[in-house]
Amino acid sequence: MSPKLGKLFPALVFIEVVLLAVLLWVTGVVFFKQDPLLVNEKYSPTLLLSLVISLYYGFTGGLLFIAVLSALAYFYYEPFPYQEILWNLLVVLIASEFRFYWEKRIRLAEMEREYLTKQVDKLRKELFLMKLSHDQLELNYIVKPYSLRRLLEQVKERLLKEKDERAVMSFFLSLLLQNFQVYRASVYRVKEHDRELLAFLGDRDILDPEDPLVKLVLEEESSFYLPPKALKKFSEHGELKYLAALMVPEDEKSRLLLLIKDMLFVNLNEEALNYMLIIFSYLAEDMAVGKALGQIYEEKPPCPFDFVKELYKMYKLKEELGIESSIAVFRAKELPPDYPYAIERAIRGLDVFCVLERERLVIFLLPFTPEWGAQRFTDRMVKLFPWLEPIAVFKVKEPDVRAYVRRVLK
C-alpha cells in the first residue's frame, strides 16, 4: 500500500503492520520454535523490518510494530527481551526521523517546482503579450483605442480595491464593453457538476450546456475559443446561442468560463479574442490573491500589484512550509533615467523590485533566498550600482510591504 493511501485510511496501516508482525511471528514459530522473533540472533531480521516499516509508514507505523512485537514477546519470552526491543525502538526513532526530514525536503522541492512552473507560465504570457504588442503596434496607435497593458493595470488595481469577486467580474465585463464593444456576455465558475453565474452584461443568461460551442469548450477544459471561420461552420447546422466562449483555469477544481452572446462584428477576430483571453487569464490567476491582498491593504499599496502579490506568495510559503525568502532594502542616492532597465538586467528571473521615489527606497524581493544569500545579493548590487546604499536585509515574515518600509524609516 502506498503512503498516500495510508494517510487517507489509517486503519489500513494498522492492519498491514499487524499482519507483518503476525507473519514474522508465525514464520518464527514454524522454523525457530525456541526464538520465534529471532531477537536473540546476532543479525535479527526484526531490526530490518523495523527499519523498513519506519521508513515507509513513519513513526506511527514503526511504533505500532514495536508494540505488537512487545505484546508477542511478553507472552512467549522469559525473561522479557528488554534490550532487543529497545534496539528496535531506537531503529524506529532514527528511521522515522530520517523519513520526516526527507518528506519535508520533497515537499519543499515540489512547492519550489510549482512556483517556478507558474513563473515560467507568467513569462510565457508576457512574451505572448509582447509579441502581440509588437505585431499590432501600428494598428493599436492608429485604429484601436485600447492598450492591453493599461487594461491589465486597471484589472490589477480593481483586484486590490474589491473584496467581492462578483464586483470584480462585473468590472471586467464593463472593460470588455468599453474597449471591445461586447454588449451581452456572462461569466461562470465551472466545476465538475456545478455551474455558478458570477456576472453578466446585458440580459441575464442561463447556461446552455447543449450549445455546440459550450459543449466543445467544456470537453476541452482549457483556454479555447472558436475563430469566425469555425463559427460559420457551426452556424450552417443551426443557430448558435454564443459567438465566442473562453475558458481559463482558476484552480485545480474549477474553471472560469466567459460566454459572449453579442459584440461588434468587426471585433470578432483572433486579435481581439486573444486580448480578451489574456486579460481573463490574468484575472482568474490573480483573483484569489487579490481578495487576500484587499484585506491587507485598505488603500493602494506603495508597490505595484505584481510585487505585493509575490510578497504574499512568499509569506504563505514561509507560513505553510518554512521556505525562506528575503527582502533587501537600499537607499538610492540618485535615480538614473534608465535605472528600471539596468536593474531588470542585473537581477534573477525570480526576483522582483519596487521603487519608492518619494522615500528614495529600492526594495528587492528575493524568493527562496535565505539571509546569507540576500547579503551576497546586496554586495553584488552595490558593486554594480554605486548609487545604491544598502540599508537592511529582512526575512519575509509579514505579507505587508509597508511593515518593512516602516522598520527602515524609523
Backbone CA torsion sign across 244, 250, 252, 255: negative
Q: State the average pLDDT for the chain.
A: 78
Give me the residue spans of the domains in the chain.
3-107, 136-296, 305-409
Reported as a pLDDT band with limits 50, 70 and 90, residue 227 is: low
Indicate whether 7 pLDDT > 70: no
Count other Cβ atoms within 10 Å, centred on residue 26: 11
Strands 244-249 and 255-263: antiparallel
Per mean pLDDT, which range of 28-42, 72-86, 244-258 is the poorest? 28-42
First to last CA, the chain: 57
pLDDT at 331: 92
CATH class of residue range 305-409: alpha beta
Reported as a pLDDT band with limits 50, 70 and 90, residue 114 is: confident
**Range among 144-153, 207-216, 222-231, 370-379 rated most confident:** 370-379
Sheet of strand 388-395, all strands in order from the earlier edge strand to the far edge: 352-356, 361-366, 326-332, 388-395
Dist. CA 366–CA 323, nearest whole Å: 12
pLDDT at 213: 78
Dist. CA 314–CA 394, nearest whole Å: 13
**pLDDT digits 0-9 by tens, 269-299:** 777 787 788 888 888 878 777 777 877 887 7
Name 355's bridge partners. 362
pLDDT at 10: 59
| Single pTM value for the model | 0.62
Per mean pLDDT, which range of 28-37, 243-252, 389-398 is the poorest? 28-37
Reported as a pLDDT band with limits 50, 70 and 90, residue 104 is: confident
CA nearest neighbour of 156 among 242, 278, 328, 34: 278
Q: For the domain 136-296, what is the CATH code?
A: 3.30.450.40
Reported as a pLDDT band with limits 50, 70 and 90, residue 234 is: low
pLDDT at 98: 86
**pLDDT digits 0-9 by tens, 42-75:** 667 777 778 888 888 888 788 888 888 777 777 7
**pLDDT digits 0-9 by tens, 342-382:** 888 888 877 889 999 888 899 999 988 888 889 999 999 99
